[in-house]
Structure 1
Amino acid sequence: MFYVSIFFQYAAQYLKTRLTYRVDTLVEILSDLLFQAVNLIFILVVFGHTTFLSGWNREEIIFIYGFFLVPYAIFTSFFNIWDFNDRYIVKGELDRVLTRPIHSLFQIIMERMELESLFGVVTGLVIMYYAGSSLGLSIAWYDVFVFIVMVLGGAFIYAGIFISLASIGFWSDSRTDIMPMMYNIGNYGRYPVDIYHRVIRYILTWILPFAFVGVYPAAYFLKREEWYYYAFLTPVMGLIFIIISICIWNVGVKKYRGAGN
């Protein structure tokens, strides 16, 4: 309950800050929506030249994209640690964080959150509704709970991967290009994995499991029974990756010796 209370205090202060600069906040939201629209237009352009893509029709891939946006929006709202190395290690801000009686990772997540990115959840739900209506999908009452669990699993997978990458900074203070590259690789999870080579499919499933953020859990709601095994592994993979990342972080913090001079 202590951490829940701290979360709402951080969120309240963040909202006060963002509402002070309303135009900037609105521009950021519109730019995010424009970026999502461009990706959706790309899918429509691809299907302007073909009817199916490895057995998936246009509405199914649009549905997968919509599902992907939901866990991705949660990730981008609360896990903006792409500049952790630069800001907290090189510039020494981690020294300030470690003087407080709260877990260091929790503090950094709260400091870097961008709640306006949660509008991506709404966008994803709207896209899923449009595609699902076109496909005539039926939803059972328990699918709402399945959806929440799978979304959290997908968000935890993203968070686990990027927290682990950020933790590299505890051993090396040099700047790295791994983060942007990983963001680009993550985009592959918004499309069906069977359109890729089997090596890429294996990587997206078991090494960098971005497929569990989009196509695998979405396959459950699309009634793709051949993918059910992977779909129900989504929360398991999310739990595994977030636990591993926290363990790596905790080990890394013990290696930290301050910014120095």
Structure 2
Amino acid sequence: MFYLSLLWDYFKNYAKTKLTYRADFWIEVLSDLSFQAVNLIFILVVFQHTPSLGGWSEAEVVFVYGFFMVPYGIFGTFFSLWNFSERYIVKGEMDRVLTRPAHNWFQVLLENMDPPSLIGSAAGAIIMAVCWGRLGLPLEFWDIPVLLLLILSAVLVYAGLYTALTAISFYSDAPTGILPLMFNIQNYGRYPVNIYNKAIRFLLTWLIPFAFVGVIPASYFLDHKGDGLSSLALVTPIVGVVFFTIGLLVWNHGVKRYRGAGS
């Protein structure tokens, strides 16, 4: 309850700030939607030149992209750590965070909440619903709970990976540039992994498992048994928990190494 109350208090402070500068809020929302729209248009343009992509139809790939958007929007809302190194390490704000009673990781997340990113999740859900109808997919009573579980698991994959990568700042005296690289790599997870060579497929599935934030969990509903992805979909919760745990362990170990802004 303590952490839930903190979440609510931070959200209210965020809302008060954005109500003061409403134009900034809507510009941020439109910017995010525009970025997602460009990616979607790119997929549609690709299918103007080919009937399928690695055995996947246009509606199936768009469905995967819609699924990809949902956990990404949740991740962007609650796990926005893009400027951690510059703000908390270089400028020394981590010292302030460590003097407070709540866990430092949770405080950093709350201070960087970005609720407009949830608009992307809503857009992704709409895209999935439209493609679901176009593909004529059956809707069983267990599909909704499984969908929510897979989305949560994908968020944990995101959170674990980016928490671990952000924690590298504790081990380095200079800001790390690895987060932009990971941001670009994650986009490969929204396409069928069978279109890549074996090395990239292994990388995206087991080492940097961005395939588990998009194509693999989405394939559960598309029933792509021929490429084995639908059978891997139910492994997503395990991958999410494992990588989330690793991320927190790396973070906590990094905090123990932190000696303050003057060190």
- Bin of the TM-score, shorter chain as denominator length: over 0.9
Aligned position for 2:170: 170
Gaps in structure 1 of 5+ consecutive residues? none
Matched, 1:232 2:234: yes
Cα drift, residue 227 of structure 1: 2.1
Aligned position for 1:141: 141
Q: Give the 3-state SS of the residue equivalent to 1:23 in structure 2.
A: helix
- Aligned pairs for 1:243-258 within 5 A: 243-258=245-260
Aligned residues: 261
Cα drift, residue 130 of structure 1: 1.3
CA contact 2:69–2:120 (8 Å) conserved in 1: yes
Letter paired with 1:243: T
Aligned position for 2:159: 159
Aligned position for 1:28: 28
Letter paired with 1:221: F
Aligned counterparts of 2:242 and 2:11: Cα–Cα separation in 1: 27
Aligned position for 1:205: 205
Letter paired with 1:257: R
CA contact 1:62–1:131 (8 Å) conserved in 2: yes
Aligned counterparts of 1:173 and 1:13: Cα–Cα separation in 2: 32
Aligned counterparts of 2:103 and 2:180: Cα–Cα separation in 1: 26
Aligned counterparts of 2:246 and 2:99: Cα–Cα separation in 1: 24
Q: Deviations over 1:196-240 (max 9, x none)?
A: 011000000000000000000000111223323210011111111
Question: What's the TM-score once normalised by structure 2's chain length?
Answer: 0.97
Cα drift, residue 19 of structure 1: 1.6
Q: Deviations over 1:95-133 (max 9, x none)?
A: 000000010000000000100110011100111111111
- Aligned pairs for 1:78-89 within 5 A: 78-89=78-89
- Aligned pairs for 1:62-211 within 5 A: 62-211=62-211
CA contact 1:85–1:173 (8 Å) conserved in 2: no
Identity across matched positions, percent: 53
Cα drift, residue 16 of structure 1: 1.3
Cα drift, residue 174 of structure 1: 0.6
Aligned counterparts of 2:235 and 2:184: Cα–Cα separation in 1: 23
Question: What's the TM-score once normalised by structure 1's chain length?
Answer: 0.98
Letter paired with 1:40: L
